């Protein structure tokens, strides 16, 4: 019979797997057992909601058996089974195809690393069987089906699916273990002790019994007597079924009996992450609604986190039976990065997706979890800023968007969690942290907006604030403008955008001085505005500048950052959004003196100087010049 070919990407993965130098090939057993457990979950769930399945919870089990002579290792389950189509679809193609596309561009040299990354990060499940076997046979009968099917493959050359006989529903995965090679002693995977050890190590928490028939040497009398007339004894093997795993899911176990490392290992395996989470949250609630939860805050965002492919939500269990894989209603959108499980005996099993939203118990749980996640993050921020920064770099943008979306519905929840790079030079700081550092004399929370913190720090408008000994927050994302406007104030302290607002740093005397000087130079300033041909709304003598000659500020709602944002939108959709710009000139700067001189002696030169100053202000503000060669010519004309 003609063999069917694996889909292209599966074949690549299979190649990698078979030739893998991966030292943790023992994890194949965990992967196969975990599939068996999932299959039982599915049938068990059906049996609880549909009486006709005819199976009790206690009927379900996974059996692991080894046949040394024929080098066969078999994992059998009585779960939901697979139809012919299921086999074609699930075993002929890799499930997490995204993980492979991700690594496509790797060159030869990094190929070894890629193998480890793929296996470590995503857990390639069923295919891992080929790390230890040279042939795999899957015999399965789907629930409700009359016919059983056999899937066979000896690696990359393809697979066959044929009809076969099988008693009862479920799946047998039969692995033909590779022959021992010099360094690779595959026979260990046929050894009963070793298999028990592996099951304990990787699959102890699997909720269904994993049964092995193990040697059981018993003493018995032979019926004869020895020289002294005592009854003769002998030891005989009466193999016995033994449940190897403890079966209590990790989240059901007492906090004392589970270490932090256990939780982290569980997280990495279950949620396919190669890094430890930054925090583990355990909840054991009793009251109106009883439930246990184990939540994780990942350290890094999955590659698809900021795309539509990412499935947020927690796994929902009712007394150890999974009833929903991704229950998004358990946490607000802003915490969609949280992973974990929630298990409550109070939840009804045949709850539908729509009903879930209105379920009272679920509401109670979600309100509680929301608080827990928030307080855990706050704790992390205060006690371990380094980890918080790691978390923030992955999910900070999500929190900011969560803060501003839905008209600020989650404002109160999130406001303490927002942090910014700043001029204090101590990593990130929260608004509360900033306000705490404000001296009595400081009126505003100052911030500078630019593409990155460095640029923000070097804005001319920032200088006075820093010189006054006040701190600055650096805001570098488009969403920050909305964060500030949604926040309004912090403890009555208002925000001040150094590029827009009055810094409030001058005394009335100084202000009056500048205004007087401005009046004296009125005609010059009008001249400049006129020569700039409508590019700026006004030209003023600045209250903000110290060592720099010029800067651009804005009037009205649209700031330079907003203008830049709209400019960045595709197809010129943002063309019309322009900030009302003000050119501020430093009246104390030699450049201004030169301008004054030119104005009286050589107005043509004054016009050139005015244009140069505007270009400089634009460059400092990171705005594009309309005509950069004109600017170059203007500057050269000065030599």
- Contact footprint for ligand ADP (CB under 6 A): 31, 35-36, 39, 77, 79-82, 90-91, 95, 125-127, 171
Q: How far is the CB of 36 from ligand ADP (least distance, A)?
A: 5
Strands 538-541 and 580-585: parallel
For tokens 């005592």, the residue is 230
Helix (H, G, I), strand (E, B) or coil at 328: helix
Which is closer to ligand ADP, CB of 53 or CB of 95?
95
Which is closer to ligand ADP, CB of 244 or CB of 612?
244
Which is closer to ligand ADP, CB of 211 or CB of 539?
211
Which is closer to ligand ADP, CB of 15 or CB of 588?
15
Q: How far is the CB of 623 from ligand ADP (least distance, A)?
A: 50
Is residue 613 within 8 A of residue 539, CB to CB? The reply is no
Q: How far is the CB of 93 from ligand ADP (least distance, A)?
A: 9
Whole-number Å distance between alpha carbons of 190 and 74: 10
The token pair at 80 is: 């939901």
Q: How far is the CB of 487 from ligand ADP (least distance, A)?
A: 42
Is residue 167 within 8 A of residue 99, CB to CB? The reply is no
The token pair at 313 is: 């939500």
Q: How far is the CB of 89 from ligand ADP (least distance, A)?
A: 8
Which is closer to ligand ADP, CB of 33 or CB of 331?
33
Is residue 394 within 8 A of residue 338, CB to CB? The reply is no
- Which of 476, 494, 313, 491 has the alpha carbon at shortest distance from 416? 491
- Does the CA dihedral 552-556-560-561 come out positive or negative? positive
Which is closer to ligand ADP, CB of 95 or CB of 265?
95
Whole-number Å distance between alpha carbons of 175 and 207: 23
Which is closer to ligand ADP, CB of 163 or CB of 261?
163
Q: How far is the CB of 123 from ligand ADP (least distance, A)?
A: 7
At residue 41, what are phi and psi to the nearest 5 degrees? Answer: -50, -45
Q: How far is the CB of 192 from ligand ADP (least distance, A)?
A: 22
Sheet of 473-475, strands arranged across? 473-475, 445-449, 493-497, 489-490
Q: How far is the CB of 106 from ligand ADP (least distance, A)?
A: 22
Say which DSSP state 240 is in: E
Helical (H) or strand (E) element with 57: none
Residues comprising the chain, all counted: 639
Q: How far is the CB of 555 from ligand ADP (least distance, A)?
A: 57
Which is closer to ligand ADP, CB of 77 or CB of 480?
77
Q: How far is the CB of 282 from ligand ADP (least distance, A)?
A: 26
Furthest CA-CA distance within the chain: 136
Query: Cα–Cα–Cα angle for 75, 81, 86, nearest 5°?
Result: 115
Which is closer to ligand ADP, CB of 14 or CB of 281?
14
Helix (H, G, I), strand (E, B) or coil at 630: helix
Q: How far is the CB of 293 from ligand ADP (least distance, A)?
A: 23
The count of other CB atoms within 10 Å of the CB of residue 127 is 22
Q: Which residue is nearest to ligand ADP (CB)?
A: 125
Is residue 349 within 8 A of residue 318, CB to CB? The reply is yes
Q: How far is the CB of 19 from ligand ADP (least distance, A)?
A: 19
Sheet of 279-285, strands arranged across? 279-285, 291-297, 339-343, 314-318, 321-327
Instruction: Using only the alpha carbons of the chain, give its radius of gyration.
Output: 35
Which is closer to ligand ADP, CB of 142 or CB of 481?
142
Which is closer to ligand ADP, CB of 325 or CB of 412?
325
- CB-count exposure of residue 117 (10 Å: 0-12, 13-18, 19+): middle
- Which of 163, 5, 17, 197 has the alpha carbon at shortest distance from 83? 163
Which is closer to ligand ADP, CB of 41 or CB of 480?
41
Q: How far is the CB of 34 from ligand ADP (least distance, A)?
A: 7
**Please, which residues have CB within 8 angstroms of residue 286's CB and are 6 or more apart in sequence?**
none
Which is closer to ligand ADP, CB of 143 or CB of 395?
143
The backbone region for 183, taken as left when phi is positive above 0, alpha when psi lies in -120 to 50, beta otherwise, is alpha
């Amino acid at each position: 019979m003609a063999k069917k070919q694996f889909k292209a990407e599966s074949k690549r993965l299979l190649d990698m797997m078979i030739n893998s130098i991966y030292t943790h090939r023992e994890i194949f057993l965990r992967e196969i057992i975990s599939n068996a457990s999932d299959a039982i979950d599915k049938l068990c769930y059906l049996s609880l909601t549909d009486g006709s399945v005819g199976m009790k919870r206690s009927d379900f089990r996974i059996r692991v058996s080894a046949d040394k002579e024929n080098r066969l290792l078999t994992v059998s389950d009585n779960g939901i089974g697979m139809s012919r189509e299921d086999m074609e679809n699930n075993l002929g193609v890799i499930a997490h195809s995204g993980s492979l596309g991700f690594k496509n561009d790797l060159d030869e040299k990094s190929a070894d690393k890629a193998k480890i990354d793929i296996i470590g990060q995503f857990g390639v499940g069923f295919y891992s069987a080929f790390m230890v076997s040279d042939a795999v046979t899957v015999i399965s009968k789907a629930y409700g089906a009359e016919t059983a099917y056999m899937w066979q493959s000896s690696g990359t050359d393809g697979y066959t699916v044929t009809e076969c006989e099988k008693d009862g529903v479920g799946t047998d995965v039969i692995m033909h273990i590779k022959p021992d090679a010099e360094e690779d002693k595959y026979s260990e995977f046929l050894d009963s002790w070793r298999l028990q050890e592996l099951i304990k190590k990787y699959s102890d928490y699997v909720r269904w019994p994993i049964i092995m028939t193990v040697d059981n040497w018993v003493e018995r009398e032979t019926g004869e007597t020895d020289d002294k007339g005592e009854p003769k004894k002998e030891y005989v093997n009466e193999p016995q079924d033994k449940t190897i795993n403890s079966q209590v899911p990790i989240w059901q176990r007492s906090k004392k009996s589970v270490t932090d490392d256990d939780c982290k290992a569980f997280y990495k395996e279950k949620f396919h992450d190669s890094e430890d989470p930054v925090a583990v949250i355990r909840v054991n609630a009793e009251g109106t609604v009883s439930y246990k939860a184990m939540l994780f805050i990942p350290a890094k965002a999955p590659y698809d986190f900021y795309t539509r492919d990412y499935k947020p939500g927690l796994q929902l269990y009712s007394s150890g039976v999974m009833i929903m894989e991704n229950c998004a209603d358990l946490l607000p959108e802003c915490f969609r990065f949280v992973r974990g499980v929630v298990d409550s005996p109070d939840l009804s099993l045949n709850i539908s997706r729509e009903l879930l939203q209105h379920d009272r118990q679920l509401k109670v749980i979600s309100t509680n979890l929301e608080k827990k996640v928030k307080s855990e993050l706050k704790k992390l921020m205060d006690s371990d800023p380094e980890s918080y920064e790691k978390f923030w770099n992955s999910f900070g943008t999500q929190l900011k968007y969560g803060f501003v979306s839905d008209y600020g519905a989650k404002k109160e929840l999130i406001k303490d969690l927002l942090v910014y790079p700043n001029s204090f030079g101590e990593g990130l700081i929260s608004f509360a942290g900033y306000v705490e550092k404000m001296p009595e004399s400081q009126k505003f929370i100052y911030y500078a907006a630019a593409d990155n913190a460095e640029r923000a720090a070097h804005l001319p408008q920032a200088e006075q604030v820093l010189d006054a000994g006040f701190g600055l927050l650096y805001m570098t994302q488009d969403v920050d403008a909305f964060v500030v406007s949604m926040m309004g104030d912090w403890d009555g302290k208002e925000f001040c955008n150094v590029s827009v607002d009055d810094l409030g740093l001058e005394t009335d005397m100084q202000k009056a001085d500048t205004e007087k000087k401005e009046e004296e130079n009125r005609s010059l300033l009008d001249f400049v505005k006129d020569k700039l041909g409508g590019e700026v709304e006004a030209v003023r003598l600045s209250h903000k500048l110290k060592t720099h000659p010029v800067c651009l500020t804005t009037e009205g709602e649209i700031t330079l950052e907003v203008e830049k944002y709209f400019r960045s939108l595709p197809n010129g959709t943002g063309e019309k959004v322009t900030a009302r710009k003000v050119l501020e000139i430093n009246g104390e700067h030699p450049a201004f003196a030169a301008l004054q001189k030119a104005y009286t002696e050589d107005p043509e030169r004054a016009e050139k100087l005015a244009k140069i100053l505007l270009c400089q202000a634009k460059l400092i503000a990171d705005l594009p010049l309309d005509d950069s060669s004109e600017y170059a010519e203007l500057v050269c004309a000065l030599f």
